[in-house]
Each structure stands twice: as C-alpha cells, then as structure tokens.
C-alpha cells in the first residue's frame, strides 16, 4: 500500500482554503491542523476531549496529555502544541465553547463524537474535494515529521514527538523531496 502524500505548504494551504468553504469550517481547520502542526494521529484527534486541551480557566494548554486509551499502542503520551496551534484551538473553542469538559472536543451532529474511522472519511473527503490526490488522514502526520526533519530536528526528538517507540518507525514517515536532496548536496 502506498504511503500517504506529504503535502507541500502550497498544498496544505489549498486544503485549508477548501476547508474554509465547508459547513464546519472552523472545526475542520482545527482537525486538519492538529495532524499537520501537532503530528496527532486521526484516532487521537477523534478521542481528544475539552478537558485534554483546556485548563480550569478554560485557556488552551501548551500540551495535551493523552491517556493510554486515546493512543495507538495503548501508551500514554504528551502532544506539545505550538503557539500557533494553541491560537487555532482557541478560535475553535470560542466558536464551540464546552458544555461539558469531559465531552469530545469535536462532536458530531448525530453522535457524541467522531470515531477514528468516521473522522478519517471526513479528512480524506476534504483532501479529495481540494483536489489533493494521494492525501489521506495520515498526510498531516507524515508532513509534520518531514518538516521537522527538513529543519534539522534529530530523529530521536521526532520519535518522542510522534509517540513512537522505535526509531525505524519514525524514519519511515520522513519523506525526502527532490529540493531537500538538492539542498543537501549544496552543503558540501
């Protein structure tokens, strides 16, 4: 099976531009960016609750503590949020304030929250409608790790940010694009 497409900055912007035209634009943007800017798995995004991202004063935290039942592999992990991701979540939460802090951050119209499978279909549909062939719900996570690699972040740090226990798993996520290869040989 082919790996999910890693989006360029232009392609990510195209996905976000299309997302802005959707009925649940603010929600869809926050979901997409949690995969691209925080490297979260789609199942983690589906399971995150208001209490995971807000403190007692209902301010967005700088990190999300995911319990073992919210992650792949049943191991708890911490997801660090950049300032711009915190701002995006604050915008979403201002539009969708919590009624119950223990409820899913991203509720649906028919159910309490998304299942990972349903959220995968939503994200894949957004990419397809934006004309991004090969992009899937895993594209954000691959892009997150590829961008960190391109910026010189060590594999060990990326491994921890991704919640991987094996370095080889992290390395499989890193996409080597032609421009990066060209820049590498120019370093000599």
pLDDT digits (tens, 9 = 90+) for 137-156: 999 988 888 888 888 888 88
For residue 88, being part of any structural domain is answered with: yes
164 and 130: one domain? no
pLDDT in tens, 61-86: 999 999 988 988 778 889 999 999 99
76 and 130: one domain? yes
| Mean pLDDT value across residues 174-186 | 69
87 and 162: one domain? no
Question: What range defines the domain where residue 14 resides?
Answer: 9-134
107 and 18: one domain? yes
For residue 60, being part of any structural domain is answered with: yes
Residue 179: the pLDDT is: 67
125 and 149: one domain? no
Query: Structure pTM?
Result: 0.86
129 and 53: one domain? yes
114 and 76: one domain? yes
37 and 78: one domain? yes
96 and 52: one domain? yes
Residue 177: the pLDDT is: 66
Last residue of a domain, one of 134, 153, 176: 134
Number of domains in the chain: 2
33 and 90: one domain? yes
For residue 3, being part of any structural domain is answered with: no
Secondary structure (H, E, C), the chain: CCCCCCCCHHHHHHHHHHHCCCCCHHHHHHHHHHHHHCCCCHHHHHHCEHHHHECCCCCECCEEEECHHHCHHHCCEEEECCHHHHHHHHHHHHHCCCCCCCCECCCCCCCCCCCHHHHHHHHHHHHHHCCCCCCCCCHHHHHHHHHHHHCCCCHHHHHHHHCCCCHHHHHHHCCCCHHHHHHHHHCC
């Amino acid at each position: 099976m082919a790996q999910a497409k890693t989006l360029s900055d232009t392609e990510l912007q195209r996905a976000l531009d299309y997302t802005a035209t959707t009925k649940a634009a603010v929600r869809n943007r926050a979901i997409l960016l949690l995969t691209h800017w925080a490297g979260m798995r789609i199942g983690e995004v589906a399971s995150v609750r208001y209490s995971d991202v807000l403190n007692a004063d209902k301010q967005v935290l700088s990190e999300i503590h995911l319990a073992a039942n919210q992650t792949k592999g049943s191991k708890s992990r911490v997801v660090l949020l950049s300032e711009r991701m915190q701002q995006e979540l604050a915008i979403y939460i201002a539009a969708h304030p919590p009624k119950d802090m223990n409820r899913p951050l991203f509720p649906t119209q028919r159910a309490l929250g998304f299942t990972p499978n349903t959220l995968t279909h939503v994200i894949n549909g957004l990419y397809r409608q934006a004309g991004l062939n090969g992009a899937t719900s895993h594209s954000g996570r691959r892009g997150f790790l590829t961008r960190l690699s391109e910026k010189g972040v060590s594999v060990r740090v990326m491994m921890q940010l991704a919640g991987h226990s094996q370095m080889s798993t992290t390395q499989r996520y890193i996409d080597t694009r032609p421009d990066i290869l060209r820049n590498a040989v120019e370093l000599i």
